[in-house]
A and B are shown apart, each in its own frame.
Chain A
Amino acid sequence: MTAAATSAPATTTHGVGTRSRRRSAVWLGLAPFAVYIVLFLVIPAALAVGSGFFMSAGAFTLANLRAFADPNIQSDFVSTIGISAATAIVGAVIGAVVCFALLGARPDSFLRTVVDSASSVLAQFGGVMLAFAFVATIGQQGLITVLLERYLGLQTNIFTVFNNNGPLLYQVVGLVVPYLYFQVPLMVLTFMPAMEGLKATWGEANATLGGTRFTYWTRIAMPILAPAFFGSVILLFANSFSSYATAAALIDQGGILPLDIKQQLTSETVVGVQNVAGVLALGMVVVMIILMTAYSALQRRASRWQR
């Protein structure tokens, strides 16, 4: 890294005159960060997405894309999208209700600080540890599972046997529960600024014009919040679509795309083509780019009201 950074001056200090020399010296200030980004972000991303287009021997091919025709991969794609959509929508609705409840609290109040910090921990830090928490809650020996067995006599409940397939928590569908646990806090973090953007004067204007609280919500607040809300839904979708740690700590096999990538990287399971991990990475990035483009478009619309 440093070697690349120091070799740069040789080519750029040819400029004549002090002004252009100083200018290029300033440009040089950007070099270390640029080199770092190229080495550890651009190249890895390109390698990850590009590797799907090559045979193991190094020849370019489109044949690997046939992996997407594999029924297992297709069904895993569908379950990943299903889980992401379900947790994004449910998480967004619950999170929005929490934001609504927080409107009464001052942004610098103790309550808000605690909720914000707890939300950041759960949304950004949890991963493996949230998986542990849910094993202790609804796993086979989990607190709630045990309470159901002991006090309600439910030896077979949804947490011990789900879909005739063992405990809910260790199935792909069961991921919805721990995922919601980080989706709701992420919604609180991303949607709260939009909620706070609702101005008291709009409510007063509505009241002077004879509107009720119902018309305030349906005619003013909801239309204004809609872009921010759908933007947050997309962000939540992307978050659950790309999260790996919680699922990896709970499920050993594949079943969702991030876990399939792990399976492919650790033991080339049979799909019939090479570099499947790269192909799956490509598929994920395509979905993420579509999502993030939609998100930034909605975010631009939403930010109009947040000045």
Chain B
Amino acid sequence: MSAVRGGAQRYGAEPSTATRRSILIIVGVVFLVPIAALLEFTFRIGQPAANGVQAYGFQHYLDIVSPANEQAYAPLYQGILNSLTICVITVFIVLVLLLPTMILVELKFPKYRRVLEFVCIIPITVPSIVLVVGFIPIYSVVAQIFGSSPWTLAFAIGVIVLPYAYRPIAANLAGVDVTTLSEAGRSLGAGWVSVIWSVILPNLRRGILSAVFITIAVVLGEYTIASFLSQNTFQTALVLIQQTDPYVGAISAVFALLFAFVLLLVIGRLGTVRRSRPPQRKGQVS
């Protein structure tokens, strides 16, 4: 693919620079408009004057940090806090339930790789809005055991996260020959624990990190299950606060989108560190 790049004569699929730039600029601008509008909205002060001129300022940003409004925004803070708790538990589910199972299947039951993949893809075929119909009766039982605290949502969201968490780990597993690695470790006298801890896991670091980050993004963005199970999370709090104070809703949305973007940008860079390794000759660590 890279051979003909930049040549005067183009044989393959690559577009000319002019075509490429114009497509990307047009689509990019169109896609920036709603984000720009959201940002513009956060700076608005009051309604436009009679001559149609809109006043702008940092009023609503100051409102958020003002102690006088602490009461009004308490549900939002609580929602963020709840979402973060759910994040931690969901990441725990991914690391303690999904990851060991994937490694075990890879090492001991490679025949069942397809089965595991199928299971992890099911949440795409059975959408959240369908699953909630079944989660409602399940959670009446869960509530009896654990109470109805928000953190219990992590069990349900852990399932929603499966397809996203599975993919980066599976991609990483496919690129690393864990069977040979673990046999090498075993033949050098390492026990299973140290093989997994100091041989396999370090090799899967990139996939695991990606899985954790995408899990965080999905948990913070989850709305359907939380709203049906009547829990206060970041997204349900946003919808709630939007009705009384749309500006704070918009500000939170801007920051959340930005946060998720940075998180995923880090995943992207993690991926390229590895991809760009072969051409580099020396001085490469990790």
On A, residues with C-beta under 8 Å from B are: 1, 26, 29-30, 32-33, 36-37, 39-41, 43-49, 51, 94, 97-98, 100-108, 111, 113-114, 116-118, 120-122, 124-130, 132-137, 141-144, 146, 150, 181, 184, 195-196, 198-200, 202-204, 206-207, 213, 216-217, 221, 238, 241-245, 248-249, 258, 261-262, 265, 277-278, 281, 284-285, 288-289, 292
Q: In the complex, are the beta carbons of A132 and B38 less than 8 A apart? A: yes
Is the C-beta of B172 less than 8 angstroms from some C-beta in chain A? no
Chain B 71-112 interface residues, beta-carbon cutoff 8 Å to A: 93, 96-98, 100-101, 104-105, 108-109
For the complex, would chain B's binding face be called helix, strand, loop or mixed by DSSP majority? helix
Which B residue sits closest to A51, measured CB to CB?
B133
A residues less than 8 Å from B269 (CB atoms): 113
- Which stretch of B58-66, B175-183, B197-205, B253-261 is in the interface? B253-261
Q: In the complex, are the beta carbons of A133 and B126 less than 8 A apart? A: no
Is the C-beta of B220 less than 8 angstroms from some C-beta in chain A? yes
Give the CA-CA distance A146 to B246 in the complex, in Å.
17
B240: shortest Cβ distance to chain A, in Å? 11
| In the complex with contacts A107-B275, A216-B13, A292-B124, A143-B130 CB distance below 8 A | no
Q: In the complex, are the beta carbons of A146 and B48 less than 8 A apart? A: yes
Contact of B126 among A30, A104, A117, A288 (CB under 8 A): A288
Q: In the complex, are the beta carbons of A129 and B256 less than 8 A apart? A: yes
| In the complex with contacts A117-B264, A202-B12, A285-B130, A124-B35 CB distance below 8 A | no
On B, residues with C-beta under 8 Å from A are: 1-5, 9-15, 17, 19-20, 23-24, 27, 31, 33-38, 40-41, 48, 52, 54, 93, 96-98, 100-101, 104-105, 108-109, 119, 121-138, 155-156, 158-159, 162, 164, 214, 217-218, 220-221, 223-224, 227-228, 235, 238-239, 242, 246, 249-250, 253, 256-257, 260-261, 264-265, 267-269, 272, 275-276
Q: In the complex, are the beta carbons of B17 and A116 less than 8 A apart? A: no
Q: In the complex, are the beta carbons of A127 and B134 less than 8 A apart? A: no
Q: In the complex, are the beta carbons of A134 and B34 less than 8 A apart? A: yes
Which B residue sits closest to A178, measured CB to CB?
B34
Give the CA-CA distance A99 to B132 in the complex, in Å.
35
A108: shortest Cβ distance to chain B, in Å? 4
Give the CA-CA distance A213 to B272 in the complex, in Å.
31
Q: In the complex, are the beta carbons of A204 and B127 less than 8 A apart? A: no
Q: In the complex, are the beta carbons of A103 and B14 less than 8 A apart? A: yes
| In the complex with contacts A136-B34, A242-B129, A248-B223, A124-B164 CB distance below 8 A | yes
Q: In the complex, are the beta carbons of A47 and B119 less than 8 A apart? A: no
B residues less than 8 Å from A217 (CB atoms): 13
A87: shortest Cβ distance to chain B, in Å? 15
Give the CA-CA distance A128 to B3 in the complex, in Å.
44
A62: shortest Cβ distance to chain B, in Å? 18
Q: In the complex, are the beta carbons of A40 and B253 less than 8 A apart? A: no
Residue among B1, B31, B97, B124 with the most chain A CB within 10 A? B1
Q: In the complex, are the beta carbons of A284 and B129 less than 8 A apart? A: yes
Give the CA-CA distance A106 to B155 in the complex, in Å.
39
Contact of A125 among B133, B134, B220 (CB under 8 A): B220
Give the CA-CA distance A155 to B37 in the complex, in Å.
19
Q: In the complex, are the beta carbons of A41 and B119 less than 8 A apart? A: yes
Give the CA-CA distance A245 to B35 in the complex, in Å.
18
A residues less than 8 Å from B12 (CB atoms): 198-200, 202-204, 216
Q: In the complex, are the beta carbons of B129 and A150 less than 8 A apart? A: no
Q: In the complex, are the beta carbons of B37 and A143 less than 8 A apart? A: yes
Q: In the complex, are the beta carbons of A143 and B36 less than 8 A apart? A: yes
A271: shortest Cβ distance to chain B, in Å? 15
Q: In the complex, are the beta carbons of A45 and B14 less than 8 A apart? A: no
Contact of B133 among A117, A132, A203, A281 (CB under 8 A): A281
Residue among B3, B134, B155 with the most chain A CB within 10 A? B134
Q: In the complex, are the beta carbons of A49 and B24 less than 8 A apart? A: no
B residues less than 8 Å from A97 (CB atoms): 23, 27
Give the CA-CA distance A225 to B123 in the complex, in Å.
27
> Lowest 8 CB-CB distances: which A-B pairs, in order?
A203-B12, A44-B134, A242-B127, A48-B134, A47-B134, A203-B11, A101-B23, A143-B37
A residues less than 8 Å from B131 (CB atoms): 41, 44-45, 48
Which A residue sits closest to B101, measured CB to CB?
A33
Contact of B221 among A33, A37, A113, A127 (CB under 8 A): A127
B99: shortest Cβ distance to chain A, in Å? 10
Please name 10 further chain A to chain B contacts, defined as beta carbons within 8 Å, in addition to the given A204-B12, A281-B130, A292-B124, sorted by A numbering.
A37-B119, A43-B138, A46-B134, A104-B15, A113-B265, A125-B220, A132-B249, A150-B52, A195-B13, A292-B125
B151: shortest Cβ distance to chain A, in Å? 14
Give the CA-CA distance A46 to B131 in the complex, in Å.
9
A159: shortest Cβ distance to chain B, in Å? 12
| In the complex with contacts A47-B133, A106-B2, A117-B261, A204-B11 CB distance below 8 A | yes
A residues less than 8 Å from B217 (CB atoms): 120-121, 124-125
Q: In the complex, are the beta carbons of B20 and A104 less than 8 A apart? A: yes
Give the CA-CA distance A213 to B15 in the complex, in Å.
10
